[in-house]
Amino acid sequence: MIILKRLVQVLISITIGLVLLSGCSWLYEIGSEPEAKNGNDLSAAEMEIIPFEAVNQHGDTVTDKDLEGDYWMANMIFTRCPTVCNLMTPNMLNLQGKLQEEGLDVRLVSFTVDPEFDGPEQLKKYGDDYGADYSSWDFLTGYTQEEIKEIGKESFKSVVEKDPENEDIIHATTFFLINPEGQVIRSYDGLENDPEPIVNDLKQLME
């Protein structure tokens, strides 16, 4: 009986730990299957980037039109994120390094889901703390909370929702690959620190 009770306690602890680790990601996808480690092909999903206007960490204007004509990667973060962003941003940094190493000219875009707090200066500090290379990585803000909810829903089929009870914001933990025509064609688990599947896909697509 004692052994059984201890086993139950261990299982409960593991479950709680997983919930805490998922943090703001526990309810992040609308009607999608769990993220595959090596990425999901979204080509047939007809997902497209909707028009948007934002500013980056330097205060420069960035719109959807500025990103047309090239492959680019997108994710969602916020600087006060207590959990998953602390994994995703280093993973994106690792991806940036690998892309540069392979000579792949791919732009990275991180949308903040907390634009009321994350102004350009805050995002610049955040990027600096992680050692981001801004030559190919934009941290975007300058839109309203409703607008980023719309971007999440319409462009990425993802929830962006405040969770006041936990002082958190629910958002996707996915890296999205967008083609030169503005179509979202691949998704990858942003919590996986393995850039190889993304790099391999881009090599094939950009040949």
Q: How many domains does the chain have?
A: 1
* Distance linking the first and last C-alpha atoms of the chain: 62
Q: How far apart are CA 113 and CA 76, in angstroms?
A: 6
Q: Establish if 3 belongs to a structural domain.
A: no
Per-residue model confidence as pLDDT tens for the chain (207 residues): 444 344 334 343 333 343 333 444 444 443 344 444 568 999 999 999 999 999 999 999 999 999 999 999 999 999 999 889 999 999 999 999 999 999 999 999 999 999 999 999 999 999 999 999 999 999 999 999 999 999 999 999 999 999 888 778 999 999 999 999 999 999 999 999 999 999 999 999 998
The predicted pLDDT at position 195 comes to 97
Q: CATH number for the domain including 144?
A: 3.40.30.10
Note the pTM of the prediction, 2 decimals: 0.84
Q: Establish if 9 belongs to a structural domain.
A: no
Q: Establish if 53 belongs to a structural domain.
A: yes
Q: Establish if 10 belongs to a structural domain.
A: no
Q: Establish if 175 belongs to a structural domain.
A: yes
Cβ-Cβ contacts under 8 Å for 42 (sequence gap 6 or more): 184, 185, 186, 187
Q: Establish if 100 belongs to a structural domain.
A: yes
Q: Establish if 41 belongs to a structural domain.
A: yes
Question: What DSSP line would sit under 57-112, residue for residue?
Answer: TTS-EEEGGGGTTS-EEEEEE-TT-SSTHHHHHHHHHHHHHHHHHTT---EEEEEE
Name the binding residues. 81, 85, 171
Range(s) of the domain holding residue 128: 24-206
Q: Establish if 137 belongs to a structural domain.
A: yes
Name the binding residues for Cu cation. 81, 85, 171
